[in-house]
Amino acid sequence: MGRWEPDARERLVRAALDLFGEQGYENTAVAQIAERAGLTKSTFFRHFRDKREVLFGGQDVLAELMTGAISGAPAQAGPLEVVEAALVATAVTFTDERRAHGPQRLAVIASNDELRERAALKMVGFAVAMTDALKQRGVPELEASVAAELGVLAFNHGYERWLGTGGDFAEVARRTLGEVRAAVGRLEGAE
Amino acid sequence: MGRWEPDARERLVRAALDLFGEQGYENTAVAQIAERAGLTKSTFFRHFRDKREVLFGGQDVLAELMTGAISGAPAQAGPLEVVEAALVATAVTFTDERRAHGPQRLAVIASNDELRERAALKMVGFAVAMTDALKQRGVPELEASVAAELGVLAFNHGYERWLGTGGDFAEVARRTLGEVRAAVGRLEGAE
DNA sequence: TACGGTGATGAGACCAAGTCCCATCACTTA
DNA sequence: TAAGTGATGGGACTTGGTCTCATCACCGTA
């Protein structure tokens, strides 16, 4: 077995997630992950840039969905409406299967510095992508940064909420962004 | 030479910065940095957790200054006023010497993924620290997150501006945060 | 049926990051 | 002068990650 079995990438992800759960991230060698998936270290690094990335596959797709939605939004829409559209656009990737191993994935990430680091970089990537797409629409630099940052905040809170409650991510994201905006209003109104 | 010369840590930082500038981060081995500083690899790792950290020394101090300022702020101050105090409190670390090699440091970080990753983690660290300190004051979760995130944004923009213009960082930070708040107002007012 | 092409994999050498352990040295204090 | 302390040197070792080349399954075509 092994060679030419289909879905090598998925097998690697599952093996990694299992092993990280059983022994912890640091105590699991890439060779071991590959072995459990019926593959070798070489093949692992053909599918993932590094050991961390096995937990973050497909996040580039998210950034593309976001920027696509921002570029395609109606011209008269305000920055935060556009950001909302960006979050909603990512909903197609939030499948039941993804929700199933979401908590395990989050737990592993939280347990390790390298992984929190990678997660932070991904979020910065989202923020930069949205900022650029907003600037492309003519939104001034600072407004674009702020709107994008608020969007990432809502995305993160929304993701955690979605893991707990399930349902349609688009709905959850919309509601969460609304609450963030309300918080912003309370902040500026208070002084 | 080497052994028992003072300021081993500072020598390592300077050697690293120079070598990264000359040959790039990836092409510079830790052993080489240590050698130029008149030390060995072992000693390098005694002073820095890893190769990246040589560029981020002292950022823990910043987080402590921020949380200290937030805890010590007057009880009636609003969240964003408190955040302003946090940024102002970090000004003591922004010396001329730090400004001197700031651009070189930023250029190196921008050139490499690992380093951008570490920088992102540091910023998340600031945000978490400020969020927690705000919650400690009774600020609700979401308001705290938003205020902290805006503070980090202002900190970053302010830092870049300070590298360009010089002067007192406290002043720059105050002004930058003011502009961020104005941008927030324009965002929410527009729709 | 045979053949060559293609793409994914295996295998192993290799380098550098990071850990560990122990010896060594300079300096301090009794 | 001797013991103690803290920073350093040195080297073995594991693992992440790169690179190169051989190998195998499948596909199309003659």
Nucleotides of C under 7 A from a protein CB: 8-12, 16-21, 25-27
State residue B57's pLDDT score. 86
Strand D contact at CB of residue A40, distance < 7 A? no
Distance from CA of B122 to the nearest CA of A (A): 9
Looking up tokens 């997660």, which residue turns up? A119
> Which residues from A are below 8 Å from B140, CB to CB?
183
Contact B107/A at CB under 8 A: no
The full DSSP string for B74-114 is: -TT--HHHHHHHHHHHGGGG--HHHHHTHHHHHHHHHT-HH
Report residue B4: phi and psi, to 5°. 70, 5
Q: Which residues of chain B have pLDDT under 70?
A: 1-6, 190-191
Count of CB contacts below 8 A, A vs B? 90
Residue range B8-54 forms a domain whose CATH class is mainly alpha
Radius of gyration of chain A (CA): 19
Length of chain A in terms of residues written: 191
Contact call for residues B108 and B81 (beta carbons, < 8 A): no
Instruction: Among B60, B115, B117, B155, pick the best mutation site for testing chain A contact (most A Cβ within 10 A).
Output: B117
Q: What pLDDT, on the 0 to 100 scale, is given for residue A191?
A: 54
CATH number for region A56-189: 1.10.357.10
| Interface probe with B: pick from A122, A160, A188, most Cβ of B within 10 Å | A188
The domain locations on chain A are: 8-54, 56-189
By the 8 A CB rule, do B123 and B148 touch?
no
Nearest to A51 by CA among A117, A101, A126, A107: A117
Ranges in chain A, pLDDT < 50: 1-2
- Minimum-distance residue to C16 (CA–C1'): B29
pLDDT, residue B2, reads 39
> What digits encode the pLDDT tens for the residues A34-46?
999 999 999 999 9
Cβ contact A180:B146 at 8 Å: yes
Q: Do B120 and A124 touch (CB under 8 A)?
A: yes
**Residue B5 in 3-state DSSP?**
coil
The tokens describing A8, both together, are 């090598």
CA nearest neighbour of A68 among A40, A41, A94, A87: A87
Residue B116 contacts A, CB cutoff 8 Å: yes
